[in-house]
Amino acid sequence: MGRRKGSAVRERNAQTPPPAPEPLRVAVADSHTHMDMQTPEVEEVIAAAEAVGVTPLVQVGVDLSSSRWAAETAAKHPGRVWAAVALHPNEAPRVVHGDGAEGVEADDTDWAGKARPAGGIEALEAELAEIDALAALPQVVAVGETGMDTFRTGPEGARAQELSFRRHIAIAKRHGKALMIHDREAHEDVLRVLEEEGAPERVVFHCFSGDADMARVCAERGYFMSFAGNVTFASAEPLREAAKVAPPELVLVETDAPFLTPKPYRGRPNAPYLIPLTLRVLAETKGLGEDELAGIVADNARRAFGF
C-alpha cells in the first residue's frame, strides 16, 4: 500500500460498496487489509468476510498508531483477526525528515491530514523500539508492512527507508515473526537488503508487483507472494504471468483494502469480503480449480503466519 492522504481514503469510501460475491466453499485468509481505513465497523467487516468464506483477516499497521490499533483489534477478535505491525517505508522518511522535506513523498499529510515535523534518526529509533515491543505480542503474526518504495521517495528519504527496513528485518527475526514486505519499484534494493541482512524464515511480498523473473527469484528463495485485486486488471498481464510462475505452495491472496478493488468494481471501496473475486482470477490464471487453490492458499497462510 502506498501512503495516501486521508482525503483520498475518504473519497474512495464514499462510493457505493460492491455487492457480495458468491461465497467460497473453502475458506481463505485475507493476508493484508486495513480495516482502520474502511468505513464499516470492524465487526461488520469481519462478519461480511466470514459470510463469503474469508477468514481470518490480517490487519496491517503502517505507522505507530495504526500498529497499536492492529494489535488491539486482534486481541479483541482472537482467531478472527491477526495483526502485523511496522512503519511503512514511506513513513520512515517522514519521521526523520518531516513532511515537505526534499526526498520525502509528495503527499505531505497523514491519514488525519496532519503534517509531521522532522524528528531525526533518534525519533525513528524510538518508534522502531515501540514496534519491536508490539511484535512480541502473541496476536501479532508479522512485522510489516516494511520494505522499500522509490515511487514517491527520493535519495535522501531512501536512506531512512533502508535503515528502517533493516531494523524491521532484525525485529522479525528476533521474535520469529513473518516479514511482510512492501516493494514498489524497488525490487533490486529489497532483494539486496534481504540478502545482506539474512532473510527471516518466512517472508511475504505483500501486493506482489514483480514480473515473472521476479517471481522466479522469490520462488528460489522460498518467499511467499501475496496477490491483490490488481491481478484482475486488464492492464495487469505481466502480473498474471508472474502468478503463473509462482509455485502454488507460495501463493497468498489479499485485498490491501480499501485499495485495489478487483474487477469489475475498480475504483469503489475494497474490503475483505471481495477476496473471492481475486482468488477466482488467480485460479483461472494458474489453471487450478477454485476449491483446490483455496485449500492451498489457506494452508499457505497458516504456514506463513503461524495461525
- Which residue carries 469503489 as its cell? 268
Question: Angle CA(144)–CA(275)–CA(246) in degrees, nearest 5?
Answer: 65
Are 214 and 185 in contact, with CB atoms under 8 Å apart? Answer: no
What are the residues whose beta carbons fall under 8 Å from the beta carbon of 162, sequence distance 6 or more? 148, 189, 193
Cα–Cα distance for residue pair 133/131, rounded to 1 Å:
5
Query: What backbone torsions phi and psi does residue 257 show, to the nearest 5 degrees?
Result: -60, 145
Residue 182 marked ligand-binding: yes
64, 65, 269, 291 from 144: Cα distances, Å? 11, 14, 23, 29
Is residue 269 classed as helix, strand or coil in its secondary structure?
Answer: coil
Residue 110 marked ligand-binding: no
Residue 97 marked ligand-binding: no
Residue 175 marked ligand-binding: no
Are 152 and 106 in contact, with CB atoms under 8 Å apart? Answer: yes
Residue 32 marked ligand-binding: yes
Angle between helix 290-305 and 275-286 (nearest 10): 110
Q: What Rg, from alpha-carbon coordinates, does the chain have?
A: 18
Helix (H) / strand (E) element for 183: namely strand 178-184
Are 236 and 266 in contact, with CB atoms under 8 Å apart? Answer: no
Cα–Cα distance for residue pair 53/133, rounded to 1 Å:
33
Residue 185 marked ligand-binding: no
Length of the chain: 307
Binding site, annotated residues: 32, 34, 145, 182, 206, 256
Binding site, annotated residues for a divalent metal cation: 32, 34, 145, 182, 206, 256
